[in-house]
Amino acid sequence: MLADARIFWVFFMGPVLALLLLAIPVLAQTMPENASARSYGDGWGCNVGYRLTADNCAAVVAPENAYETNRTYGSGWECHHGFRKVNETACVAVLVPDGGFLAPSGERWHCLRGFLKVDDTCQEVVVPENGYLVEASYGSAWECRRGFEQVDDSCTAIVVPINGYLNGSGYGQPWTCERGFVEQDGLCATVVIPEFAYFDDASYGEGWKCQRGYKASGAGCEAIDIPANAHLDRSGNRWKCNRNFQKSKGQCVFNN
């Protein structure tokens, strides 16, 4: 039994111990100071507060106005609030211009309400008389109060003609004629409805339309002369040929 144990140690455990003894110097040579073997996988990594430089683990040195993060990844340091990284080597102060404020991130700045960012400055928005501040996608701006329109850098009163009213449109004509009136040369003229017509409040046209079976002719409406094999179309103010007929010289002829 004792002889078997000796044989086991010589032929099986002996080589294993020999390999371990050989591995210890290798580990000692390859893993530098301030490093530790990984808890999973092979190899090693630098300890917290150190970063790999060449084949060594050098201590993290945070620049002025920075603090160490105590993390094993990244640069190992971050800038204090109010400072920003430059070239991953330094922290420079964020210079906030007059009329601006430091952003919550502490790495940039924004302009206060009433100021507009222009390059590295915040310029005050000059609001003209009869105007007011608004927020736009690019910063503060201004718009004119109701009843006024922008002309260059000022707000000019909108001249609304008699029988007209402000329509509040942000584009085009800022006023509209009241019902029963139509725009003519910048004024609101009374709509004169001819015989066989009715009032039409569309924003364009004469302000009236002919009744069904009549068509506009000058300033009035005349009856539509419908030829044989024809009928009024959907509008009621024109005619079209019946199926299997086609228009020819004001008549509807058989389409063969």
147 in the same domain as 186: no
The whole-number pLDDT of residue 54 equals: 81
250 in the same domain as 164: yes
The whole-number pLDDT of residue 7 equals: 55
* Identity of the residue numbered 24: I
CA pair distance 92, 156, nearest whole angstrom? 48
The whole-number pLDDT of residue 6 equals: 56
The whole-number pLDDT of residue 137 equals: 73
109 in the same domain as 196: no
Helix (H) or strand (E) holding 117: strand 115-118
Residue 32 lies in a domain: no
215 in the same domain as 247: yes
Domain total for the chain? 4
CA pair distance 129, 156, nearest whole angstrom? 9
169 in the same domain as 98: no
Pairing of strands 50-53, 56-59: antiparallel
The whole-number pLDDT of residue 27 equals: 45
pTM higher than the cut 0.85: no
The whole-number pLDDT of residue 211 equals: 95
CA–CA distances in Å: residue 187 to residues 161, 162, 171, 176: 6, 7, 19, 10
Residue 28 lies in a domain: no
CA pair distance 2, 21, nearest whole angstrom? 26
pLDDT in tens, the chain (256 residues): 555 555 544 455 555 555 544 444 444 448 888 888 887 777 888 888 888 888 888 888 889 999 988 877 788 899 999 999 999 889 999 999 999 999 999 999 999 999 999 999 999 999 999 999 998 777 778 999 999 999 999 999 999 999 999 987 777 889 999 988 988 889 999 999 999 999 988 767 788 999 999 999 988 999 999 999 999 999 999 999 999 999 999 999 998 7
